[in-house]
Amino acid sequence: MEIVRSQREWTHAIASTTSAKLSFYCSAPALDVRLEDFELYGIDRLRVLQGISDGLSRGKRPEEMEKLRSLMSEFQLPYKAISHVEFETVKEKLNQVAHSIGQPLNGMSLPTRFTFVMLLVTSNGQD
């Protein structure tokens, strides 16, 4: 006696285990980002966040925060005061990239280094 499993049950079992990780879109994102770039952005993000965290937790004055900005330039991290409109444009591009890798874009999980300059921007950089 031979036990035969139906093809339908087999394909259903495979589909239920693999489809949860895939994201499907009608069209591909407009941006191409290499894995190496994500790694660099991640390292840069950690450096920036560490500097910001250090500054905020210690109640740094503007002069002391300027030292943190010089540290950012030492590591060749871009820093400039950008407008809110420019920040939203960059955020939209990052949203496309995040969708292409299946990650939601929420607040501080932006995957690139130059968007974190908004955390250090003074009021003169706003619209």
Q: What is the pLDDT of residues 38-94, one digit of tens each?
A: 787 778 778 777 777 777 777 777 777 777 777 777 777 666 666 778 777 877 777
For residue 72, being part of any structural domain is answered with: yes
38 is written with which tokens? 């994500």
**Residue 32 above 60 pLDDT?**
yes
Residue 105 placed within a domain = yes
Which DSSP category does 76 fall into? T
**Domain count of the fold of the chain:** 1
Would residue 9 count as lying in a domain? no
Assessment of whether the complete model's pTM goes beyond 0.75: no
Residue 63, domain extent: 31-125
Tell me the mean pLDDT in the region 14-42: 67
Instruction: Give the CB-side neighbour count of residue 14, counting CA atoms within 13 A.
Output: 4
